[in-house]
Amino acid sequence: MVPLSYYLVLSGILFACGVTGFLIKRNIITIFMSIELMLNGVNLSFVAFAAQWHALSGQVFVFFVMVVAAAESAVGLAIIIAVYRTRETLNVDRVNLLKL
């Protein structure tokens, strides 16, 4: 039996990777994938705890997260396409009209 702490460390690493990617990457698609990475890092800790405590709610919660993530990626990709069509770039630093 793999101890719980291993899962949590892996989950933390995944999440940290996601945050780092989000902060340093400029391509929207990559940022988007980093978000997925963070979500899955969290998902991993959910299921690890669920298995540890034999509580089903953690597993169920992961399904909710997946569903929301799927919906989110649908919307997000649509936005990305719209952004690309109008501005012909995927570099987020160029998408900065929303400032004072």
Partner 1 sequence: MTPSPHLWLIPLLPLAGAAINGLFGKRFSRQTVSAVALGFCGAAFVMALWIAAQFHSSLPLLENLAPWIRAGDFQVDFAFYLDQLSLVMLLVVTGVGFLIHIYSVGYMWEEGGFYRFFAYLNLFMFFMLTLVLASNYLLMFIGWEGVGLASYLLIGFWFTKDSAASAGKKAFIVNRIGDFGFLIALFLMIKHFGSLNFVQVFRIVSGMPAEVAGTGLLTAIGLLLMVGAAGKSAQLPLYVWLPDAMEGPTPVSALIHAATMVTAGVYMVARSHVVFDRAPQALMVVAIVGTLTALFAATIGVCQTDIKKVLAYSTISQLGYMFMACGVAAYSAGIFHLMTHAFFKGLLFLAAGSVIHAVGGEQDMRRMGGLRHHIPWTFWTMTAATFAIAGFPPFAGFFSKDAILWRAYASPYGSWVYWLIGVFTAFLTSFYMFRLWFLTFFGEYRGAAGASHSDGHIQVVSSSRAEAPAPHIHESPKIMLVPLVILAVLSFCGGWVGSERFDKFLSPALHAGVTADSPEEAAAATPATEPKEQGGSETVLTGVSVLAAVSGLFLAWLLYYRRPQLPQEIAHALGGFYEAVVNKYYVDEIYAAVFVKPLIDGSTRVLWQGIDRDVIDATLDNSAEGAREMSDAVRHMQSGNLRSYAAWIAAGAAVVIAYMIWMGTR
Give the footprint of partner 1 on this chain (CB under 8 A): 19, 22-24, 26, 31, 92-93, 95-100
Q: Choose between 1 and 100: whose C-beta lies nearer to partner 1.
A: 100
Distance CA 21, CA 34 (A): 6
Nearer to partner 1, 65 or 83 (CB): 83
Least Cβ distance, residue 39 to partner 1 (angstroms):
15
Nearest to 33 by CA among 48, 14, 11, 58: 14
Q: In the bound complex, what is the minimum distance in angstroms from residue 99's beta carbon to partner 1?
A: 2
CA distances from 85 to 11, 46, 60, 72 (A): 36, 38, 38, 20
